[in-house]
Amino acid sequence: MTSAADYLPSTPTLDELRAAVEGCRGCPLYACATRVVFGEGPADAVAMFVGDAPTAEEDRAGRPFLGPPGRLLERALAEVGIDRTEVYVTNVVKHARGEPRGRRRTQCAPDDAHVAACRPWLDAELAVVRPAVLVCLGAAAARAVLGEGFRVRRQRGVFLPSPLAPHVLATVHPSAVLRARGEEARRVVYTRFVDDLARVAERLRAVHAGV
Ligand code: SF4
């Protein structure tokens, strides 16, 4: 497999990256996706949120964190005082893995080779945005960003050392809340998710205050 590195412009802006990713053939996923899903948000965002891969809805629209998971993320961020429009949101892999089946799409997780091939795009987004706080959403994103040794049960919700940003934390993906069975289970997963985001909000306040 080749790599996205061959398709990256040198010293790019976000707009240049967004244009270049349209032509990426760094792994086979471009051939089965409907649209590329690049990150969204201000180039000077202080916080970046990274999920694993585009959902079927994101694949159709070409935008990250749409549909029920996106709305839930927005609601949880609002609860802790973070405005979604002020943060940068993206995925580790920019094309969805799956294929059309009639009017629907099969959807499956990217494998390690896809994640590795696509990594240059995330590194380029990090290099442009240079967020003070980087938040991995879900175990797959956390392992892709923080390494295979990451364990979401033990390490979620705590700031971990990483060369990628001054403050790095992982929590669950908002879709974990939606997948929980039953109202009470969803409430518990959502509450812990909001607790983790509250730590992010607290750290952002400290960053803004220059602490
Ligand atoms: Fe390129 Fe990433 Fe899409 Fe693969 S998934 S074609 S590496 S943008």
Q: Nearest 5°: CA angle at 77, between 186 and 40? A: 115
CA angle, residues 162, 168, 170, in degrees to nearest 5: 115
Ligand 1 center–CA 181 separation, angstroms: 33
Which 8-state DSSP code applies to residue 32? T
Mutate to test the pocket of ligand 1, among 1, 58, 94 (most ligand atoms within 8 A of CB): 94
Q: Tens of pLDDT along 134-165? A: 999 999 999 999 998 898 888 999 999 999 99
Instruction: Give the atom of ligand 1 at the shortest distance from the alpha carbon of 33.
Output: 3
pLDDT tens digits, 84-132: 999 999 999 999 998 777 777 777 888 999 999 999 999 999 999 999 9
Ligand 1 atom closest to Cα of residue 7: 1
Q: Would you state the pLDDT for residue 96? A: 94
Q: Whose CA is nearest to atom 4 of ligand 1?
A: 27
93 lines ligand 1 (CB under 6 A): yes
Q: How many CA atoms lie within 13 A of 208 on its CB side?
A: 11
Ligand 1 atom nearest residue 21's Cα: 8
Give 72 Cα–ligand 1 centroid separation in angstroms: 26
> Which phi and psi angles does 49 have, rounded to 5°?
-115, 130
Task: Find out whether the beta carbon of 122 lies less than 6 Å from any atom of ligand 1.
Answer: no
> What global pTM score does this model have?
0.95
3-state class (DSSP) for residue 24 = coil
Residue nearest to atom 8 of ligand 1 (CA): 94
